[in-house]
Amino acid sequence: MTTQNIPAQLFFLYDSHCPWSYVTTKLVNEINQAFPAITINLWHAAFFDGKNDDSTSSKLNEIKAVENLANIKFPPVYKKLLETNKSSILAANLMTWAQHKTPHLALTLLNALQKAHFEQGNKLTNQADLDDIINELKLSPPTKVFKNDKHSKDVFMQLEEIYSLQEMMNTEAIPALLLAVNDQLILLNHNFYLTQPSAIIEAVELELNKYQ
Q: Give the domain CATH number at 162.
A: 3.40.30.10
pLDDT tens track for 7-48: 799 999 999 999 999 999 999 999 999 999 999 999 999 999
- The distance of Cα 20 from the centroid of its chain, to the nearest Å, equals 9
Give the domain extent around 18: 3-209
Task: Please compute Rg for the chain using Cα positions.
Answer: 17
Residue 199 · residue 193 · CB < 8 Å: yes
**Three-state SS for 140?**
coil
Q: In which band, very low, low, confident or very high, does the pLDDT at 1 lie, cut at 50, 70 and 90?
A: very low
Predicted local confidence at residue 79, as pLDDT: 95
CB count within 10 Å of CB 49 equals 16
Q: State pTM to two decimals.
A: 0.93
Number of domains present in the structure of the chain: 1
pLDDT tens track for 117-160: 999 999 999 999 999 999 999 999 999 899 888 999 999 999 99
| Residue 161 backbone dihedrals phi, psi, to 5 degrees | -65, -40
With 0-12 / 13-18 / 19 or more C-beta atoms within 10 angstroms meaning exposed / middle / buried, residue 143 is exposed
